Chains A and B, each alone.
Chain A
Amino acid sequence: MDLWMLYALMKKSRLFEEAVAQLWQRGLISGEMHLGTGEEAIIAGIVSQLMPGDAMAVDHRGTAAFLMRGIDPVALLREMLGREDGLCGGRGGHMHLYSKEHLAASSGIVGAAGPRAVGFALAAQYLRPASVAIAFFGEGAMNQGMLLESLNLAAVWNLPVIFVCKDDGWAIITQPQEAARGDMGERVHGLGVNYVAVDGLDVDAVWSAGSQAIERARTGGGPTFLHNRCVHLEGHFLGYELLRVTRRPFQELPKLTVPVLRSFLRKGGGSLKERLAGMKMILSKLWSTMRDPREDENNDPIIRLRQRLMVDPGRLNEVDQNALTEISAVLSAALVEVTR
């Protein structure tokens, strides 16, 4: 494992997505925008180990995985800008990225990465021996039937799939304790899939767990499920309402609370007790967002890794500079002919 190489991948991805965020803010990218900032260690730890012939099924948050897989960053950005020379001719957008050449496909349908990775792995068994398929998804997707069925199918057919769960503790506003009972590990075990819990903020840990899982899959040992915890630094998507409210309470809070209070006070409806219980749930969402671990630098995988690489500040600075130069060049190439 080369921590420096992993750091460079993560740093470039971060800079790229920060640029995406700015373009989105300026209105040059339309629709929703799900950033992978905060999960770079998971993506880098896995994707850096892929070989030609390996496949990748990603969800709505796939930019970092595509970037780290070596897919042309200019084409990626041009895609988000909706240009004819984008990765998919501007037809897909960031939730629908595809690269046939890399056997990489994304989808906005939560859980769809499961069956897709299983199918890629099945094809690998016939056509590309010793190749593997990766599925990237969030913990929310683990309640989707097709993903659970895929775990089962991968186990039954002993397929070379690595199910990579990026667990940030939120599925839009739904938290795991509201959406699932029981332990994720037991659930996965129960389906006959090898389960490993990983600190998704530590690229070293992800890489090691990934390396074992991939080796196992390549050599006919069947599927593994890697359960990585992480924090999404920008929440579910850019402009995520709960984060907006907690970040700019004076402007945003009244927009939420005034209608809620008005409704709370309206005649007809639940008892006071029921209404209070409803209010409590709304407040607890805000409260958990405020207490969210975003402020803690230790929850940023890049800052974490930097602390380790500080042993050689000169080299670190050089890697940072190179990443910046590279992404700036990508940005200027991608913004050619883009006005506004």
Chain B
Amino acid sequence: MRLMYFSEAIDDALAQAMVEDPNIIVFGEDVLLLRRNLLARFGPARVRGTPISESAFLGAGVAAAMAGLRPVVEVWQVDFLSVGLDALINHAAKLEAFTHGNWTAPIVVRVPCGGGYGDGGQHEQSLWGWLAHIPGLSIVVPSTPADAGRLMLSALRQDGPVVFFEHKLLSEIYLAALGSGGRESVQFDVPAEGNRGPVPDKWAPLPLGEAIIRRDGGDLSLISIGVGVHRALEAAQALGKDGVSAQVLDLRTIQPIDKFQVCQAAAKTGHVLIIDEDYEGFGLSGELAAILLEAGISVKYARVCTQTTIPYAQQLEKQMLPNTECIIASAKSLLVG
């Protein structure tokens, strides 16, 4: 066992995969800075910077994957994927279907996501539901360093395209660059276990689509992903003091999604509260409700999600993003109502 920070773990697992598979190359904006450790170990042929040309380099990543490479393509923020989305939606995601399973594009798109450090509504979105909507894309949202490294390894072994989300509040690299910028005058609500934790000496892949119970409980099931899992855990602890026993399920991947464990958790407690940092409408939280309805599981259901564009002002931002207080309040009214 080693102790690692979140992004350090991802890079470490990625490095292990790069040693084993010479076809893995990494490229994206400013990766010479962001992945300098990989650059120093693997050299410029395998770690390269790009111009600010998302549509071109994402599209090129997809085609390079079609032609035998395994590119890990980075974009500065998931929000900026919008600029190059055609590559993912119309090309990477469609290839397998169009070729009736004969041809796939094994690209991993690595994107920082999420808010809580004051960059505002064009830089702090989650958008995983938006991407998961498209058949053919796998969507991974880890919440701990160990999961992050292991999921990166399995992302690199998929046949098709994977979007790998790296929450900026968990990432020591992004938070330092975008949030604090060398200042000691600012603090962020960083979940400690998500930011740094034990990781295996040698990475082994964690299959996509396996949720995990982070905390057991019998009264209420909190289902979440990414930073939301940690908020849910904090809330569950507080609820425990009030005599409520809350279970926390970490989905870890959205596409594929672990329907079995979702249903099991729901059936066990009969009360489901979804915590999703992505937007509320037409996304993960609604999808989970549909999964339960389709399975014929009747539960009391509520959700704590991001409702509108994330405001810049610190206090408003804090209120807008799912936070422990509103999870506790929703949980209580769910149990009472």
Binding site for B on A (CB under 8 A): 24-27, 29-33, 79, 82-84, 86, 88, 90-93, 95-96, 107-111, 140-141, 143-146, 171-174, 178-180, 237-242, 244, 256, 259-264, 266, 268-271, 273-275, 277-279, 281-282, 285
Q: Which single member of A84, A95, A260 contacts B123 (CB below 8 Å)?
A: A95
Find the B residue at minimum CB distance from A33: B181
The digit string for B261-278, where 1 denotes a CB below 8 A from any CB of A, is 000000000000000000
| A275 touching B43 in the complex, CB below 8 Å, given contacts A95-B122, A108-B122, A269-B18 | yes
What residues of B have a CB within 8 angstroms of the CB of A173 in the complex?
30, 32-33, 49
Please report the C-alpha to C-alpha distance between residue A94 and residue B180 in the assembled complex, in whole angstroms. Answer: 16
A-contacting 9-mer, from B65-73, B112-120, B143-151, B207-215: B112-120
CB-based closest 3 A-B pairs: A239-B181, A30-B118, A274-B43
Task: List 26 A-B pairs, Cβ < 8 Å.
Answer: A27-B183, A27-B186, A30-B117, A31-B120, A33-B181, A91-B121, A92-B121, A93-B313, A107-B122, A108-B119, A141-B52, A143-B53, A145-B56, A172-B33, A244-B182, A262-B37, A263-B15, A263-B40, A264-B40, A266-B15, A268-B19, A270-B42, A275-B40, A278-B39, A282-B39, A285-B33
A82, B313: Cβ atoms closer than 8 Å: yes
Cβ proximity bits B45-82 to A, threshold 8 Å, 1 near / 0 not: 11101111111100000000000000000000001101
A171 touching B52 by the CB < 8 A rule? yes
When distances are taken between beta carbons in the complex, the residues of chain B under 8 Å from A242 are 33
CB distance from A198 to the nearest CB of B (A): 22
Q: B106-160: which residues lie under 8 A (CB-CB) from chain A?
A: 117-123
Q: Chain B residue with minimal CB distance to A26?
A: B185
Q: Give the Cβ gap from A38 to chain B, nearest Cβ, in Å.
A: 18
A268-B19, A275-B43 given; A109·B37 CB < 8 A = no
Q: Which of A24, A93, A269 contacts B120 (CB 8 A)?
A: A93
Q: Is the CB of B185 within 8 A of A178?
A: no
Contact A25 B43 (CB under 8 A): no
Q: Which residues of A contact B39 (CB under 8 A)?
A: 278, 281-282
**Does B52 lie within 8 Å of A144, measured CB to CB?**
yes
Q: A143-B52, A274-B43 are in contact. List 20 more A-B contacts (CB 8 A).
A: A26-B185, A29-B118, A30-B179, A30-B314, A84-B313, A90-B312, A90-B313, A90-B316, A93-B118, A93-B120, A93-B312, A95-B120, A108-B79, A140-B52, A146-B83, A178-B51, A242-B33, A268-B19, A269-B19, A269-B42
| Cβ-defined contact, B177 with A241, below 8 A | yes
Closest to B315 in A: A82
B162 proximal to A (CB < 8 A): no
A137 to B309, CA, bound (A): 25
B residues near A (Cβ < 8 Å) are 15-16, 18-19, 29-30, 32-33, 36-47, 49-56, 79-80, 82-83, 117-123, 177-183, 185-186, 309, 311-316
Q: Which B residues are in CB contact (< 8 Å) with A111?
A: 52, 83
Least CB separation from B57: chain A residue: A143
Given contacts A93-B118, A179-B51, A270-B43, contact A260 B37 (CB under 8 A): yes
A59 vs chain B, min Cβ distance (A): 11
Within 8 Å by CB of B40, from A144, A145, A282, lies: A282
A144 adjacent to B42 (CB under 8 Å): no
Q: Is the CB of A281 within 8 A of B41?
A: no
Measured CB to CB, the nearest residue on chain A to B124 is A31
B52 touches A179 (CB 8 A): yes
B44 contacts across to A, CB distance below 8 A: 274, 277-278, 281
> Contacts of B80 on A, CB cut-off 8 Å?
109-110
Complexed CA–CA distance, A61 and B1 (Å): 44
A266 to B309, CA, bound (A): 44
Nearest CB to that of B39 among chain A residues? A278
Distance in angstroms from B52 CB to nearest chain A CB is: 5
**Given that A96-B312, A144-B83 are known contacts, is A278 also in contact with B42, CB under 8 Å in the complex?**
yes
In the complex, A83 Cα to B311 Cα: how many Å? 11
Q: When chains A and B are docked, how far (Å) is the Cα of A90 from the Cα of B121?
A: 11
Contact pick for B182, options A32, A95, A239, CB 8 Å: A239
Closest Cβ neighbor of A263 among chain B residues? B37
A273: B residues at CB distance < 8 A: 43
Q: Tell me which residues across on chain A come within 8 A of B119, comparing CB atoms.
A: 30-32, 93, 95, 108
For A270, the closest partner residue in chain B by CB is B43
CA of A79 to CA of B149 in the docked complex: distance in angstroms? 39
CA distance A144 to B54 in the complex (A): 7
Residue of B80, B120, B183 most packed against chain A (CB within 10 A): B120
A110 to B84, CA, bound (A): 12
Candidates B16, B30, B40, B312; contact of A92 at CB < 8 Å: B312
Whether the Cβ atoms of A91 and B313 lie closer than 8 Å is: yes
A262 and B315 alpha carbons, distance in the complex (Å): 40
Nearest neighbor of B179 in chain A, beta-carbon distance: A31
> Are A266 and B41 interface neighbours, CB within 8 A?
yes
Name the residue of chain A whose CB is nearest to the CB of B47: A278
User: Is B43 in contact with A271, judged by CB distance below 8 angstroms?
Assistant: yes
Instruction: For B30, list chain A residues within 8 Å (CB).
Output: 172-174
Q: Is the pair B185, A25 in contact by a Cβ cutoff of 8 Å?
A: yes
B49 x A83 contact (CB < 8 A): no
Pick the contact of B316 from A82, A96, A140, A261 — CB < 8 Å?
A82
**Chain B residues near A29 (CB, 8 Å)?**
118
The CA-CA distance from A111 to B54 in the complex, in Å, is: 11
Residue contact A31 to B42, C-beta cutoff 8 Å: no
C-alpha gap A208/B121 in the complex (Å): 38
CB-based contact B123/A82 at 8 Å:
no
A107 to B83, CA, bound (A): 13
Known contacts A30-B314, A90-B311, A278-B42: does B180 contact A259 (CB below 8 Å)?
no
